Amino acid sequence: MAENNSLLDKVLSLQDKFVALQSQLSDPSVMSDMKKYVQLNKDYKQLEPIIKAGLEYKKLIDGLSQAKDIMLNEKDDELKEMAREEIAGIEPKIQEMERDIKLLLIPADPDDGKNAIMEIRSGTGGDEASIFSGDLFRMYCKFAETKGWKVEVNSQTPGTVGGYKEIIFKVSGPEGTYGTLKYESGVHRVQRVPQTEAQGRIQTSAASVAVFPEAGEFDIELNMNDIRKDTFCSSGPGGQGVNTTYSAVRLTHIPSGIVVQCQEERSQLKNLDRAMEELRTRLYNREHQKYLDEIASRRKTMVSTGDRSAKIRTYNYPQSRVTDHRINWTMYNLPVFMDGDIQECIDQLQVAENAERLKEAGE
């Protein structure tokens, strides 16, 4: 019971802060400062599930206390039996709720609620690696479709016989997508007979996937004097406007040397907006990388996006097998997985990460 009170005290101690945030968010002076308002709203949303869980937990603790009191002091056997049944029902719920609250109290990745910028690059394997990169892109598009998310391509370099040497795209959804897709960062390895192999021999090829949280307008401030903008004609499929109008945009951030480009839209203004989004994200992630490096050293479920050599998953076509090496998870239905059914693997990675987070917290 002492542990129950300690956990409850931790949650209830946040209630005053939660009420204060509610008051601040309705203050007109705060609402006029958009940067401050966005931060306060983020803090409020992080506290809301903790407070809600805490109130539910308190109801269970009070119910358990009342039932135990009846067991000790009531002489009516029927009432005592009812109390015994109530205790048997409440105690497992309390244990489950305690675990949930402990997880909620551990600071989560602050960027989980952001949208994701993803980058797939072909690695070892030549043309087959490019084809595999295209397969991975299709897999993520299919997965996004099942979730109701939107996929927008920023830039792409097609492979010579199909797929992509490199493709960069944004995945957006109402509740953010980074918290789900971040587990995909790392090297993905494929074992199969390539389309380009005449002898029918199995080849191992690879593609690297990097997932970044998209930086919001208020996450990083850009000085336009530090940015060189170049425009050029779009290339590739796209109709009459391709190769005739300077709609494609390339941005160079002079202090950092970071270069981004977008040519997927017909409008130069739309390409500029999307290139600015990616540039903000690249700059923001130089700082975010420090956080990733720190947790990657402690959690096997997470791979730092800067470590492109970390093999996280193997796709074996002859055995119809996909294996995630971080948690030794295997599925023997590769066609379904490649068709976007990757949620089970992500769920298992999240379960493993939660266990690691609880361990970090000293449980």
Per-residue pLDDT tens for 17-68? 888 888 888 888 877 777 777 778 777 877 888 888 888 888 998 999 999 9
- Report the range out of 159-163, 229-233, 340-344 with the highest average pLDDT: 340-344
| 157-171: average pLDDT | 93
Establish whether domains 2-105 and 224-286 are of one fold: no
What average pLDDT is seen over the chain?
84
Q: Which residue has the higher pLDDT, 93 or 267?
A: 93
Residue 314: predicted pLDDT: 96
Residue 244: predicted pLDDT: 56
Strands (E), 254-355: 258-262, 311-316, 321-324, 329-331
Residue 232: predicted pLDDT: 82
Domain 224-286 part of CATH 3.30.565.10: no
pTM of the model: 0.69
Q: 274: burial class by Cβ within 10 Å (0-12, 13-18, 19+)?
A: buried
Q: Minimal CA–CA distance to 268: which of 244, 302, 298, 292?
A: 244
| 293-321: average pLDDT | 71
Is 333's pLDDT higher than 50? yes
- SS3 for 57? helix
Class at the top of the CATH hierarchy for domain 116-218+289-359: alpha beta
Is 296's pLDDT higher than 70? no
Confidence of residue 206 (pLDDT cuts 50, 70, 90): very high
Q: Minimal CA–CA distance to 312: which of 110, 303, 178?
A: 303
Is 169's pLDDT higher than 70? yes
The CATH code of domain 2-105 reads 1.20.58
| 244-271: average pLDDT | 84
Q: Where are the domains of the chain?
A: 2-105, 116-218+289-359, 224-286
Strands 116-122 and 227-232: unpaired
Is 264's pLDDT higher than 50? yes
Secondary structure letter of residue 183 according to DSSP:
G
How far CA 257 is from CA of 119, 166, 251, 274, 291, in Å, comes to 18, 19, 10, 18, 22
If DSSP states are collapsed to H, E and C, what string results for 269-293?
A: HHHHHHHHHHHHHHHHHHHHHHHHH
| 127-151: average pLDDT | 96
- Which residues are CB-contacts of 310 (< 8 A; sequence separation ≥ 6)? 186, 187, 303, 304
Residue 218: predicted pLDDT: 63
Residue 238: predicted pLDDT: 47
Confidence of residue 306 (pLDDT cuts 50, 70, 90): very low
